[in-house]
Amino acid sequence: MAPLLARRALLATVLGSAGRRRHPRHHAPAAARPSSGAGGEAEAEGPSRATAMLRHLLLKLRATGPVTVAEYMREALTNPGQGYYTRRGGIGESGDFITSPEISQVFGELIGLWCISEWIATGKPQAFQLVELGPGRGTLTDDMLRVFNQLPSVLSKCDVSVHLVEVSPKLSEIQALTLTGGKVQSNPEDKSAYMKGISKTGLPIFWYRDIQDVPPGYSFYLAHEFFDALPIHKFQRTEKGWREVLVDIDPEVPDQLRFVLSPSSTPATENFIQPEETRDHVEVCPEAGVIVQRLACRIEKDGGAALVADYGHDGTKTDTFRGFRNHKLHDVLTAPGTADLTADVDFSYLRKMTQGRTATLGPIKQREFLKNMGIDLRLQVLLQNSGDTATHEQLLHSYDMLMNPKKMGDCFHFFALLPHHRLVRPDKKHKPESKSPLLPVAGFAELLLQ
């Protein structure tokens, strides 16, 4: 089938399917970050956890002096013993923050459709890897795999495998339960993975701690609310030049942390601030830069694409470091380890860190991306097939959460890395009259009217 026809058929199958998650959400989802919702877990386990992590940090600060915000964030989120994601990872209505895949099944379905659409547009390679960075509860991948399963005739000859990059033992357990029903093998001998299993739909799934451990090959890399969880450095312009913001013990209040400025420049101020910088406060996430470099190298060499979805800006914002606990804003220096810490993603930095190895698309607002992917049609089909008022209301409420400009529609963005040849034919320069235009990339252009 011609790629365009194949894409139309695909669209009709996925958007028109009556399929609902096996575990439909009956409760209207809590609001996304930030909001005034409430949950119970953090209160129950808060104080002792806070003490353990805070004690650990106080010992460290007394021994070696102030630490960078990046070091503080890394400890608070992913310390192997006490980190927020390691021990708690409170994603969902009963946790600290809710994410789009948890709000609506349609989100993951449309991203599944995006991957298949790109796979078709690049000539249906014989195999592809679905690689998710920071999969949370595994819901996004689960919804995507359901879409793949609905397309047996399209994918029958394609060898699909799933690769999850996750540092949190607690969340990887939840992912295993969501995706395989809990039937997994730890430390398999044949792989660099720390766990493996078979999805409910029959696909092999592997877990890794680092993107470098994922085997090379044509892959779709997904990062939903992943980059915002990576440690940032914070800088402030002073009369004496750029200084790094550090975390120290407050000498006035026992066991309390405070921000201080480095007395002189640090290696980070030398390396991460651009000479042409005009802002007075800047946040930089070098770990995100390294991961994007790795993704760009892989996509340049083996093909595929990366789709990043997160809240963020294009190099304009200054102070976005914040904490969330029980769906409320939480002071970043209070009770570390009990709250999610996050900073907006700087898409201009990610673009720069591809070093021209791939083309980039976006950032484009979530509501535009999902509209281009056909969310309205999908909603109509689900509404027509929903028998009860509660489901009806839940579908409309979750659509509003994802699409409303005042909720998640405008502040979340989609950004893609694609091989250059996906956007410009290599021979275009020499044969500008060349027919057969390249297919537009779904989501970044309207899928339905192509």
Q: Which residues bind ligand SAH (CB under 6 A)?
A: 78, 85, 89, 91, 99, 101-102, 134-136, 165-168, 171, 224-226, 229
**How do beta strands 241-249 and 233-238 pair?**
antiparallel
> b/e per residue, 406-417, with b = 16+ CB within 10 A?
ebbbebbbbbbb
CB of 58 or CB of 67, closer to ligand SAH? 67
The least CB distance from residue 307 to ligand SAH, in Å, is 12
CB of 135 or CB of 197, closer to ligand SAH? 135
The least CB distance from residue 261 to ligand SAH, in Å, is 27
- Name the closest residue to ligand SAH (Cβ): 134
Q: Per 3-state DSSP, what percentage of the chain is helix, strand, and coil (rounded to 5)?
A: 40, 20, 40
The least CB distance from residue 328 to ligand SAH, in Å, is 17
The least CB distance from residue 83 to ligand SAH, in Å, is 9
Residue pair 140/134 in contact by the 8 Å Cβ criterion: no
CB of 122 or CB of 366, closer to ligand SAH? 366
CB of 213 or CB of 446, closer to ligand SAH? 213
The least CB distance from residue 102 to ligand SAH, in Å, is 6
Integer Cα distance of 385 and 373 in angstroms: 20
CB of 364 or CB of 377, closer to ligand SAH? 364
* Residues 6+ away with beta carbon under 8 Å from 270: none
- What is the Cα 83 distance to its own chain's centre? 19
Instruction: Identify which of 439, 443, 291, 438 has the alpha carbon closest to the alpha carbon of residue 364.
Output: 443
CB of 182 or CB of 356, closer to ligand SAH? 182
Query: Is the peptide bond prior to 34 cis by the omega test (within 30 degrees of 0)?
Result: yes
The least CB distance from residue 222 to ligand SAH, in Å, is 8
CB of 61 or CB of 290, closer to ligand SAH? 290
Integer Cα distance of 120 and 23 in angstroms: 30
The least CB distance from residue 323 to ligand SAH, in Å, is 14
Structure tokens at 169: 């033992």
Structure tokens at 38: 């409430």
CB of 344 or CB of 422, closer to ligand SAH? 344
Integer Cα distance of 354 and 367 in angstroms: 25
Residues forming beta bridges with residue 221, ordered by sequence position: 131, 306
The least CB distance from residue 287 to ligand SAH, in Å, is 7
How many other CB atoms sit within 10 Å of the CB of residue 421? 14
The least CB distance from residue 332 to ligand SAH, in Å, is 16
CB of 77 or CB of 120, closer to ligand SAH? 77
DSSP code string of 16-53 = H-----SS---SPPPP-SS-----SHHHHHHHHHHHHH
How many other CB atoms sit within 10 Å of the CB of residue 171? 21
